[in-house]
Amino acid sequence: MRRKEFEALVERALRRLPRPFKERLANIAVVVEDWADDATLAELGIEPPDTLYGLYRGVNLTARDTSYGNVLPDTITIYQGPIEEDAEDEEEMAEIVRDTVIHEVGHYFGLDDETMEQIEDSDP
């Protein structure tokens, strides 16, 4: 898939976030890269064949206090390569992108992986 088409999937996932979440997103950049680099994977303790679909870097909303300000934007990176590799078709790719965007936005709001897994498991 061309980068522009993949970026459109990411943009669609962001547009479809529930309004209360979209309205609270501020000072955050969402970017697409091919693959996570070796340093990022090592930092996160991820060893092949495991990989990474997305990554949030920043100070989540629950960790900010009154001194928070004048900072570079937080970043959500979506990695196109592993998503393309794991998806069987464009429909599944769009689903993985949506799930990844939601997951990384969850980190922005201060949810950890364990909490998000509990939410996903309780979702009917």
Q: Distance between terminal CA atoms of the chain? A: 31
Mean pLDDT calculated for residue range 96-113: 92
CATH architecture of the domain covering 3-122 = 2-Layer Sandwich (3.30)
Average pLDDT, the chain: 91
Tell me: the pLDDT tens digits for 50-74? 999 999 999 998 888 888 888 899 9
Whole-prediction pTM:
0.89
pLDDT of residue 120: 64
pLDDT at 44: 95
Length of the chain as a residue count? 124
Q: Mean pLDDT lowest for which of 14-18, 32-36, 75-79?
A: 14-18
Mean pLDDT of 40-48: 94
Instruction: Parse the chain into domains and list their residue ranges.
Output: 3-122
Residue 69 is predicted with a pLDDT of 85
Give the confidence band of 100 by pLDDT, cuts at 50, 70, 90: very high
